[in-house]
Amino acid sequence: MSIRQLFLPVTLLLGALTACGSDDQLPNAVRTGPGVSAESISLGVLTDMTGPFKGSSVFRIRGYELYLDAVNKHGGVCGRRIDLKQKDHAYDVQKALDGYFELEPKVLGFIDVAGQPMTAAIEPDLMQTRALTVPGSWAASLLGNPHMMIVGTTYDLDIINGLDYYKRKGALAAGDTIGHVHLRGSFGDNALEGSRFAAENWDMKVSEQAVTETTANLAEQIIALKAAGAKVLVLSLTPPQTAAAVGIAAQLGWNVPVLSSAVSYDPAIMESPVAPVFAKQVLLTSPVAPWGADVEGVRELRDSYHQRFPGEEGTLNTVHGYTVAMAYVAVLEKACAKKDLTRDGVLRAFHDTNSIPARGLTGELRFSLVGRPSATQSYMSRPDSKVPGTLKVEENLFESELVKLKGTRAR
C-alpha cells in the first residue's frame, strides 16, 4: 500500500468535514476541490525552465499567461481568477517528481507537464488524484489515459498529413520508399506509425533508422537512407539532431524533400549554416498554427503579445500555449456551468466536451471521443527567416483521406 493510499481515507474524512461547514452546501453554490478558493483557481505548470527545452517552455508559458490574462480581465471562470503555480524540473525526473508532489495538493489540475520521462513518472499518481493534465506531447499512447488532455493532432496523423502533401505534389508515388529517422520513445515511435500506415495504404515501403536523444552523429543513418533510394526523408528527432541530419544530407549532395514534425524544429536553426537548406528542402507539419498564420486566433494572440513584449516575436510554442489555455478554460467553464469545480467535476466536463471552436489555432477540438485524437488536421509550413516566427504557412489546416481511414479502422 502506498503512502498516498494509506492516508486517503483520512483525507476524504477531513474533506467531508470541511465541506459540511463550507459555502459549497448552500443552494446554487459551486462545489470546489484542491486549488480552488472563493477568489481563484490554481493550475500547475511542471516544465523545463533551465534545461535543454528552456526555450520552448518559456514561449509556451507566455502563451498560457496571455490567454489567462484576457480571461481574468473579463471576470475569470466562475468569478475566480486563474493563477499558475510553476515548478522547474530542468528535464530531471526526480526534480519533476519532487515538484509534482509539492504542487499537486495546491492545484486543480496541470496545464503543463513537459517531458515524456516526467509524464511517465507521475502518470500512475494522476490515476489516483484525478487531476486533469495537459502533457507537453501529442503522443497517441497518452490517449488511453482519461486524465490526459491532448490538444490537437497526434504525431502519427501529423506525419500522414505531411506525407499526403508530398504525394499530392508528386514527390511520392506507388512503389517509392519513405526514409524515416526517429527517436526511440513515445514521440518517434508514434511518428513512425504514421509513415508505416501511409506506406501500407499507398503501396510504398519504409526504410527505418532508430536513434536515441544522445546520438550525436547521424551520418550512418542518412547514408543508409540515401542508399535505400528514399524519395522523402522524415525526421522525428530533437531540433539539434534535425539540423545535423539536414546538414549531412546536403553534404552528401542529397537534395531530398524533408518532412519533420514541428516539435523537431527550433527557430535558432534559421540563424545557423544549414538555414538555406532548411528553407529549400524542409516542410514542417504541426497540430497548431505557426506564429505568422493569418487566422483569427493567432492575430488576437500576436496583438496581445506585441503589447506585452514590444519589439519581440513569439513562436509556434507560444501559439501552442495559447491554444492549450483556451481549451482548458473551455472545460473549466463547462464544469462551472454544472457548478462543480472539483477534480471529478472537471473530468466529467472534459469527457463531455464535443466541440471547441479553435478560430484557426488548431482544428475544432473534441474530447468526448474516448481514445481518439481531439483534432485530426495539420498545418504545413516552410522555414523562412524573413517571416515573424520563422515559419511561413504553406498550407492551412488539412486532413488526409488516409487520416479519416485510420480513424475508421481505429473504431
Claim to verify: residue 131 and residue 261 sit in the same structural domain: no
Tell me which of 50 and 25 has the higher pLDDT. 50
- Secondary element (H or E) of residue 199: helix 186-201
Work out the angle between the directed axes of helices 296-308 and 316-337 (0-180°, nearest 10): 110
pLDDT value of position 10: 42
Residue 366 lies in a domain: no
Claim to verify: residue 143 and residue 160 sit in the same structural domain: no
Claim to verify: residue 236 and residue 382 sit in the same structural domain: yes
Residue 235 lies in a domain: yes
Lookup: cell for 107:
492545484
What SS3 class is residue 266?
A: coil
Q: Which of 391, 378, 393 is nearest to 269 (CA)?
A: 391
Last residue of a domain, one of 351, 366, 387: 351
pLDDT value of position 369: 83
Q: How far apart are CA 404 and CA 350, in angstroms?
A: 23
Q: Where are the beta strands (DSSP E) in 56-188?
A: 81-88, 109-113, 133-135, 177-183
Claim to verify: residue 164 and residue 277 sit in the same structural domain: yes
pLDDT value of position 410: 52
Q: Give the model confidence (pLDDT) of 378-389 as tens digits.
A: 999 999 999 999
Lookup: cell for 90:
530542468
Residue 24 lies in a domain: no
| Residue-wise DSSP of 323-358 | HHHHHHHHHHHHHHHTTEESHHHHHHHHHT---B--
Claim to verify: residue 82 and residue 223 sit in the same structural domain: no
pLDDT value of position 300: 96
Residue 360 lies in a domain: no
Q: Give the model confidence (pLDDT) of 8-41 as tens digits.
A: 444 444 444 344 334 444 546 999 999 999 999 9
Residue 405 lies in a domain: yes
Domain that holds residue 111: 32-153+295-351
Q: Give the model confidence (pLDDT) of 294-323 as tens digits.
A: 999 999 999 999 999 999 999 999 999 999
The CB-side HSE value for 27 (13 A sphere, CA atoms) comes to: 0
Q: Give the model confidence (pLDDT) of 72-91 as tens digits.
A: 999 999 999 999 999 999 98
Read off the pLDDT band of 338 (50, 70, 90): very high
Claim to verify: residue 175 and residue 86 sit in the same structural domain: no
Claim to verify: residue 269 and residue 396 sit in the same structural domain: yes
Claim to verify: residue 163 and residue 136 sit in the same structural domain: no
pLDDT value of position 133: 96
Claim to verify: residue 163 and residue 299 sit in the same structural domain: no
Read off the pLDDT band of 3 (50, 70, 90): very low
Say if residue 144's pLDDT is above 90: no
Claim to verify: residue 195 and residue 164 sit in the same structural domain: yes
Say if residue 116's pLDDT is above 60: yes
Residue 330 lies in a domain: yes
pLDDT value of position 100: 95
Say if residue 184's pLDDT is above 70: yes
Last residue of a domain, one of 333, 351, 369: 351
Residues near 133 by beta carbon (within 8 Å), at least 6 away in sequence? 109, 110, 113, 126, 147, 148, 149
What SS3 class is residue 27?
A: coil
Number of domains the chain contains: 2
Claim to verify: residue 44 and residue 140 sit in the same structural domain: yes
pLDDT value of position 1: 44
Q: Which amino acid is at 172?
A: L
CATH code of the domain containing 57: 3.40.50.2300
Q: Which amino acid is at 48?
A: D
8 A C-beta contact, residue 120 and residue 143? no
What SS3 class is residue 309?
A: coil
Which residue is listed with cell 491554444?
323
Q: What are phi and psi of 284, to 5 degrees?
A: -110, 135
Claim to verify: residue 45 and residue 85 sit in the same structural domain: yes
pLDDT value of position 405: 86
Say if residue 172's pLDDT is above 50: yes
- Secondary element (H or E) of residue 64: helix 54-73
Rounded mean pLDDT of 251-262?
A: 96
Residue 169 lies in a domain: yes
Say if residue 246's pLDDT is above 80: yes
Across the chain, mean pLDDT equals 91
Residue 399 lies in a domain: yes
